[in-house]
């Protein structure tokens, strides 16, 4: 059987959940992945979805996931795809599964007129960086990511100025 990339189905929730947990472990932050399978069901399969998931499948086994949502460039006046998570089971790495997921996302961009496919990668993840370099991705090293969350998010939301 050939490698297949398809949209996730409700039956895929347990393996998607497992892969998200595995990714959090790999990224040395397992305590931060507090989602539940029920959270995934609500997020990926509502009446009007805003988050999407592709899976790679080989011999009837889900081998990887790509969870994504739309972003927007005011400068281009166009949407793009933000890839939240890309994960391939270690048993299938180096066999084209990650690239197949990225190719599928690139095709969605082209078909829908989206101008960008972008994501973050941890600075220490050299194997991922090398892979992304090999497909023509460019590091945006002049940008710094900022985040407000948790207690600070609540404080900001409740401030007057």
Q: What is the largest CA-CA distance in the chain?
A: 59
Q: What angle do CA 33, 50, 84 make, to 5 degrees?
A: 40
As a whole number of angstroms, the distance between CA 55 and CA 9 comes to: 9
Three-state SS at 16: helix
Q: Residue 17 catalytic?
A: no
Residue 83 contacts residue 119 (beta carbons within 8 Å): yes
Active site members = 132
């Amino acid at each position: 059987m050939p490698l297949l990339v398809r949209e996730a189905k409700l039956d895929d929730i347990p393996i998607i959940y497992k892969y998200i947990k595995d990714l959090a472990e790999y990224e040395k932050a397992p305590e931060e992945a507090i989602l539940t399978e029920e959270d995934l069901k609500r997020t990926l399969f509502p009446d009007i979805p805003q988050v999407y998931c592709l899976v790679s499948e080989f011999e009837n086994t889900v081998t990887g996931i790509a969870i994504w949502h739309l972003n927007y460039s005011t400068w281009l006046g166009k949407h793009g795809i933000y890839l939240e998570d890309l994960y391939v089971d270690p048993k299938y790495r180096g066999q084209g599964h990650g690239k197949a997921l990225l190719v599928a996302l690139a095709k969605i961009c082209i078909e829908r007129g989206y101008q960008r496919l972008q994501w973050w990668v941890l600075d220490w993840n050299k194997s991922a960086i090398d892979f992304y370099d090999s497909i023509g991705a460019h590091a945006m090293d002049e940008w710094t990511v900022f985040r407000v969350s948790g207690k600070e998010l609540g404080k900001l939301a409740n401030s007057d100025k």
